Each structure stands twice: as C-alpha cells, then as structure tokens.
Chains A and B, each alone.
Chain A
Amino acid sequence: AQSVAQPEDQVNVAEGNPLTVKCTYSVSGNPYLFWYVQYPNRGLQFLLKYITGDNLVKGSYGFEAEFNKSQTSFHLKKPSALVSDSALYFCAVRGGIRNAGNMLTFGGGTRLMVKP
C-alpha cells in the first residue's frame, strides 16, 4: 500500500524568508509525486510533479521540490515566502506499479502561515 506523511500540521514563516514543507512517502515501484495547494473553500490547485529526471522540480508561483530517493522525501520549498502563500498544502503519491492505476494517496496536509 502507498502512503504519504506530512509531519508538520502547520509551518509558520515570516514573509521574505525561505520556506520548507516536508513530505515523505512509501510506495512500491517508482513514485510519481505531486504537490497541491488548497485555499479556503476551494478545490486543490496543482503546483508541481516529479515523474522522472532531475531531482529538483520547479513549479508554479516560485515553488520547487526536491526528490530524494534514499530518504523517500519530496519536500516543497520556496526561497522567499509571500503572505499570499498562506494556504493548505498537500503532498500526494501515485505508485508506479501498473495495478496502482490512477489512485492518488494524499498526505494529511500542512497549513502554511506566512506572517508579514
């Protein structure tokens, strides 16, 4: 079975400082990893994905994530946080085995609070 862990319920960052939202995963086969952001009373917006290739993936709104196979991690990062980045962030994984099909497994979510 595949699983995702986001160890921090909330991350607090001052505006202009770098931010990191942590994610670790467990999956059989090669992982396909995704980050989504959710604003209040809205659905999820896709930020970035890792399928194969470079371990550092760049996505929307200046976010990037680093795939680390040995640590089974896919932490989300941004060099300089904005107040408007405050939202709920979800990490998700899809297993690489054929029978995993299309199912995404989500982490519990991390609330990012960026203070002015």
Chain B
Amino acid sequence: GAVVSQHPSWVICKSGTSVKIECRSLDFQATTMFWYRQFPKQSLMLMATSNEGSKATYEQGVEKDKFLINHASLTLSTLTVTSAHPEDSSFYICSARAPQGIHQPQHFGDGTRLSIL
C-alpha cells in the first residue's frame, strides 16, 4: 500500500517550454503532498507543500510564479515549471503522507528528471 506515482519520469525540452509533472497517490488519499528538488549528488530540497483545495505553501527562495502547484483532488498534485530554462534542469520528486497520522512516513514518487536544452 501507500504507492505514489509520478509522471513523466524523464522530460527533455527546449528552453521556454512549460512542463507539467503529475504526482498521484494511487491507493490512499493525500490532503498534503510535497515537492522536492534534488541536484546531482545532493540532498532533497523542499520546494513547496501542496494542500488539497487551497494554495500551496512555498519555501523561501522558491518562485511561486515559476513553479505552479495545483492540488485539485485528494489524489493528484501537479507541478508546472513555467517557461523552463537550463538552470531549471534537475530531478524533481514528490511525496505524500498517508492520512493515518502525522507520524506516518512520507511516500515518494520515483521522480522526474527534467532536462532543459
């Protein structure tokens, strides 16, 4: 149980393109999902907390207009990288926490590797 699916797994596109990444909780409802960014050989950096039915909470330094987050249902959150540029190339990972309690671990998607040419 507690499977999180992330799609697509790999994206290569031209500079200026907007890219949407989907994060789905397959067998549980997630009122809260998280979006992380990971640079090569580095740890995960929390970008934002996605809340179902309300605005996302962004971490300091993360541009809200650049990284649009929508959490329209209890099983789906999307991250849209708008007008992507080469510096946005990174590994993006989403996670969701099972609803049984705040002490439950987060369950992670397999990540999306974004390469902007």
Q: Mark A89-111, 1 if CB is under 8 A from B, else 0.
A: 01000100000011110111100
Interface of B is mostly: strand
Q: Which of A36, A41, A102 sits near B32, CB closer than 8 Å?
A: A102
Q: Which of B43, B93, B110, B113 sits near A107, CB closer than 8 Å?
A: B43
Q: Which residue of A lies closest to B45 (CB)?
A: A106
Contact (Cβ within 8 A) A103 B42: no
Interface membership of A14, Cβ < 8 A: no
> In the complex, which residues of chain A have a beta carbon less than 8 angstroms from the beta carbon of B105?
34, 46, 49
Size of A's binding interface in residues, CB under 8 A: 21
Interface membership of A43, Cβ < 8 A: yes
Contact (Cβ within 8 A) A44 B108: yes
Q: Which of A41, A42, A44, A49 sits near B95, CB closer than 8 Å?
A: A44
Contact (Cβ within 8 A) B43 A102: no
Binding site for B on A (CB under 8 A): 32, 34, 36, 41-46, 49, 51, 90, 94, 101-104, 106-109
| Closest 4 A/B residue pairs (Cβ) | A43-B108, A44-B108, A46-B105, A43-B110
